[in-house]
Structure formats: C-alpha cells, structure tokens
Amino acid sequence: MNPTCKTAYYSGDFTIPFDGLKRELWYKSYSRQKIICYCNNIDREQIKSAVHGQGLITWEDITGLYRKKPIEKCESLNPTGLCCRYKFDEVVQKFSK
C-alpha cells in the first residue's frame, strides 16, 4: 500500500504493475480517480458532493444517492480485500468539517 510504488500487487515472483489495472487504487498518489467504495464505484468527489450538496453523512445514504441497490462485496471487489467503510467514514469526516 505504498502510495508511490508502481507495483499494484505482488506475490512471490508474480507482480501486477499499477498501469496494468482496470481500476485505479485510491491509495496510490498518481491515481486520478480516488475510488473509495469499489463495490458501488463511488469516489472521493462523489462523497464530497453528497456531504456538501445533500448533507448526507452515512454510507447507506451516500451509496443510496448513487445506486438503486448498493452492494457490499468488499472481500472480492475492494483491492485491499477489506471493507471500505473505515476509509469511507474517514473521507466523510474530512468533508464534514
């Protein structure tokens, strides 16, 4: 999860370079789109807009704004394999101030 490393994933002799990905990684410094919720394809700018423009602050409300049926499949869709809510809440808090 090094923000400046050009390698996206590695395991032993197997590596995937950042430019070989279909979707950018939010934690890489050179990512143009900072996707926070990979399951619903919601990025930092969409969260900012929901917080500032709509006054929304929960994952449920924000994902519901952009998706009719939000999904939660973080283990398979999030590059970290972890739930996005911790980062999602961090981003919401930043824009709520």
Beta carbons of 91 and 52 less than 8 angstroms apart? no
Question: Could you tell me the pLDDT band of residue 18, with boundaries at 50, 70 and 90?
Answer: low
H or E element in which residue 44 lies: helix 44-49
Token pair for 23: 């979707």
Q: How many domains is the chain partitioned into structurally?
A: 1
User: Is residue 1 domain-resident?
Assistant: no
Higher pLDDT, 81 or 58: 58
| Domain that residue 47 falls in | 7-96
User: What does pTM read for this prediction?
Assistant: 0.77
Burial class (CB in 10 A: 0-12, 13-18, 19+), 30: exposed
The answer to whether residue 56 sits within a structural domain is: yes
pLDDT single digits (tens) 32-55:
778 899 899 999 999 999 999 999
Residue 36 belongs to a domain: yes
Mean pLDDT for the stretch of residues 79-90: 88
Distance CA 84, CA 87 (A): 6
